């Protein structure tokens, strides 16, 4: 993953002004703050279906999405 000057909490980036280029999540995280495990699974499935994100990694419980360039 490229070096970034800023890191954002997943949901906080969607609520405020932040527009992340990458999202990295642990599928089996027992305490996925600020989510609960069930909501985390739903968010991952939504990202997998999203036209705005592409999944670039999905191994060993780590899933990474990269924002697709806007056209």
Q: How confident is the model at residue 20 (pLDDT cuts 50, 70, 90)?
A: confident
4 within domain boundaries: no
Of 1 and 71, the structure prediction assigns the larger pLDDT to: 71
- Whole-number Å distance between alpha carbons of 16 and 19: 9
Q: Which residues pair with 54 in a beta bridge?
A: 66
Look up tokens 């592409």; give the residue. 54
Residue 47 resides in a domain: yes
In a domain, residue 33? The reply is: yes
Domain annotation covers residue 2: no
3-state secondary structure of 5: coil
Number of domains in the chain: 1
Work out the pLDDT band at 11, boundaries 50, 70, 90. Answer: low
Chain centroid to CA 56: 11
Tell me the average pLDDT across 8-20: 59
Is there a domain that residue 1 lies in? Answer: no
Q: What is the pTM of this model?
A: 0.76
Alpha carbon distance 34, 50 (integer Å): 21
Helix (H/G/I), strand (E/B), else coil: 6 = coil
In a domain, 55, yes or no: yes
């Amino acid at each position: 993953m490229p070096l970034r000057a800023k890191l954002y909490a997943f949901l906080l980036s969607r609520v405020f002004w932040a527009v992340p280029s990458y999202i990295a999540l642990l599928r089996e995280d027992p305490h996925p703050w600020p989510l609960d495990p069930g909501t985390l699974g739903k968010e991952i499935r939504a990202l997998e279906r999203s036209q705005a994100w592409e999944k670039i990694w999905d191994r060993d419980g780590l899933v990474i999405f990269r924002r697709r360039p806007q056209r």
